[in-house]
């Protein structure tokens, strides 16, 4: 049922005019911007609200690949990604200076701010993007109200909270965050360049850490600004090594990862070194009429697991192509509708897979009991043997995996 215009009329002439939308999306990061683009393209009236006209240079996801590309292709946005990102299709994987295997598959690197700008640029009608701060949200079985700092008010059938790890608005609705793992992982992001004129001898490279270092892996991949480095660790954020990585990045990195310099050569760190401490949490009390949470607003991810964007895309695709169109066809926006999204099989599986992978990566990296030591050895031995077989008979592994999936 569409919102009648009379619902959105101000009660006094001096009040700012209300904004009418089918869906109000609070938070203009990747999740919110992609959701807005999908719904706007389908013809719905969208209000995407964020307090920043241009997203800042934050250290978040910086590479897209694998099934994430397939999801973007289904959503119709793959060409826009290709236009702004740096492609690569081979990753050399090393451990203790030795090649483990080579990953083959299309991927793209780009700064998170550029990824968000791309997503926001998909909105055909720029008037649907509102630069303002949300100060309050009130929800019901019928219409939702979003109050802005400027005094304006948005009236919508549905509110989508895509506010990332900011919890103030959710807290105002009685939605609480349940801590699953405090200081679960630490990530560093920085750009490197060769010291000489010659380029790096690889398109992309992953270097796995030693169990005693607490380092999961270092990922090097191209972006429009240069070779980007993402370092993922499972160590106490107060460990002095964190300060050393920020101040003496190159020296500390080479000390922690023996064998890396052989493949990397002489290099220098360019620009700012960013880092991020990740807490894992999920929300409680989120099943309410008129409002739905997506992406990190619902559950956070371990960056080392590399499936945060996959979860986000599942949320966007299922919500915006399956549930919102169906919900808007009939009156009301009660809990029975909202629960359909939270109970969606693909969403539930993606959420659980994200948590499972977070715990797996942590244990594989830093758990030194006998069981995990054996599993770690077998993990890399299996990969190395598979790589050797594939070098003898190129394409054999790919054909076998395809046959097993069939």
User: Rounded to 5 degrees, what angle do the CA atoms 80, 85, 87 make?
Assistant: 115
For residue range 72-115, what is the model confidence (pLDDT) as tens digits? Answer: 999 999 999 999 999 999 999 999 999 999 999 999 999 999 99
Confidence band for 13, pLDDT divided at 50, 70 and 90: very low
Confidence band for 399, pLDDT divided at 50, 70 and 90: low
For residue range 26-37, what is the model confidence (pLDDT) as tens digits? Answer: 999 999 999 999
134-138/144-148 β-pairing: antiparallel
Q: Quick check: 150 and 132 in contact, CB under 8 A?
A: yes
> Which H/E stretch holds residue 32?
helix 30-41
349 vs 9, residue with greater confidence: 349
Query: What is the pLDDT at residue 15?
Result: 45
Please, what CATH class does the domain formed by 5-86+110-179+281-361 belong to? alpha beta
Query: What is the pLDDT at residue 264?
Result: 93
- CB-facing half-sphere around the CA of 13: CA atoms within 13 A: 0
Query: What is the pLDDT at residue 384?
Result: 83
Q: Which residue has the tokens 């695709």?
A: 317
pLDDT(5) > 70: no
Q: Quick check: 196 and 68 in contact, CB under 8 A?
A: no
Mean pLDDT of 398-404: 57
Mean pLDDT of 57-64: 93
* CA distances in angstroms from 90 to 93, 148, 363, 386, listed in the order given: 10, 47, 27, 16
Query: What is the pLDDT at residue 402?
Result: 56
Q: Which of 98-112, 171-185, 380-394 has the lowest mean pLDDT?
A: 380-394
Q: Quick check: 52 and 32 in contact, CB under 8 A?
A: no
For residue range 220-270, what is the model confidence (pLDDT) as tens digits? Answer: 999 999 999 999 999 999 999 999 999 999 999 999 998 999 999 999 999
Query: What is the pLDDT at residue 9?
Result: 36
Q: Give the tokens for residue 336.
A: 């029975």
Q: Give the tokens for residue 27.
A: 């938070």
Q: Quick check: 281 and 354 in contact, CB under 8 A?
A: no
Q: Which of 63-72, 131-140, 312-321, 366-375 has the lowest mean pLDDT?
A: 366-375
Taken as a whole, the chain contains a residue count of: 406
Q: What letters, b where the CB count within 10 A reaches 16 and e where it falls short, cover 211-245?
A: eebbbbbbbbbbbeeebbbbbbbbbeeeeebbeeb
For residue range 335-385, what is the model confidence (pLDDT) as tens digits? Answer: 999 999 999 999 999 999 999 999 999 999 988 888 888 888 888 888 888
Confidence band for 18, pLDDT divided at 50, 70 and 90: confident
Question: How many percent of the chain have pLDDT more than 70?
Answer: 93
Mean pLDDT of 200-219: 93
Q: Which residue has the tokens 């081979």?
A: 90
Q: What is the per-residue DSSP string for 61-121?
A: --EEETHHHHHHHHHT-HHHHHHHSEEEEEEEEEETTEEEEEEEEEEEE--HHHHHHHHHH
Measure the N-to-C terminal CA separation of the chain; round to a whole number of Å: 43
Q: Is 391 helix (H, G, I), strand (E, B) or coil?
A: helix
Could you tell me the residue ranges of all domains in the chain? 5-86+110-179+281-361, 181-279, 369-405
Q: CA 190, CA 129: separation in Å to the nearest integer? A: 31
| Cα torsion through 59, 63, 66, 70, rounded to 10 | 90
* Average pLDDT over all residues of the chain: 91
Mean pLDDT of 156-164: 97
Which CATH code fits 181-279?
3.30.9.10
């Amino acid at each position: 049922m569409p919102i009648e215009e009379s619902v959105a009329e101000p009660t006094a002439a001096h009040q700012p005019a209300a904004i009418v939308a089918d869906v109000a999306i609070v938070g203009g990061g990747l999740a919110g911007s992609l959701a807005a683009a999908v719904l706007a393209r389908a013809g719905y009236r969208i209000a995407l609200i964020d307090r920043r006209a241009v997203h800042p240079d934050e250290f978040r996801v910086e590479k897209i690949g694998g099934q994430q590309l397939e999801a973007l292709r289904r959503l119709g946005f793959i060409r826009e990604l290709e236009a702004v990102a740096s492609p690569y299709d081979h990753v050399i994987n090393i451990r203790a200076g030795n090649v483990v295997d080579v990953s083959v598959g299309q991927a793209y690197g780009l700064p998170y701010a550029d990824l968000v700008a791309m997503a926001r640029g998909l909105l055909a009608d720029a008037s649907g993007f509102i630069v303002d701060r949300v100060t309050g949200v009130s929800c019901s079985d019928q219409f939702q109200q979003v109050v802005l700092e400027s005094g304006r008010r948005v009236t919508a059938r549905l509110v989508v909270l895509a506010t990332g790890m900011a919890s103030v608005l959710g807290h105002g609705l009685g939605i609480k965050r349940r801590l699953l793992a405090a200081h679960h992982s630490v990530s560093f992001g920085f750009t490197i360049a060769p010291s000489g004129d010659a380029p790096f001898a690889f398109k992309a490279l992953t270097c796995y850490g030693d169990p005693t270092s607490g380092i999961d892996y270092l990922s090097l991949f191209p972006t429009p600004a240069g070779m980007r480095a993402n370092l993922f660790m499972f160590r106490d954020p107060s460990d002095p090594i964190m300060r050393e990585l920020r101040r003496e990045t190159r020296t500390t990195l080479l000390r922690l990862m023996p064998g890396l310099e052989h493949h990397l050569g002489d290099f220098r760190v360019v620009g700012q070194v960013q880092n991020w401490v990740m807490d894992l949490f999920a929300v409680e009390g989120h099943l309410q009429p008129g409002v739905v949470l997506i992406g990190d607003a619902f559950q956070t991810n371990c960056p080392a697991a590399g499936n945060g964007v996959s979860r986000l895309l599942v949320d966007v695709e299922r919500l915006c192509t399956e549930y919102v169109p169906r919900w808007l066809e009939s009156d009301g926006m009660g809990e029975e509708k909202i629960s359909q999204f939270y109970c969606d099989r693909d969403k539930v599986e993606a959420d659980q897979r994200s948590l499972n992978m977070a715990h797996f990566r942590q244990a594989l990296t830093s758990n030194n009991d006998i069981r995990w030591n054996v599993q770690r050895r077998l993990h890399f031995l299996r990969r190395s043997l598979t790589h050797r077989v594939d070098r003898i008979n190129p394409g054999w592994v790919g054909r076998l995996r395809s046959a097993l999936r069939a």
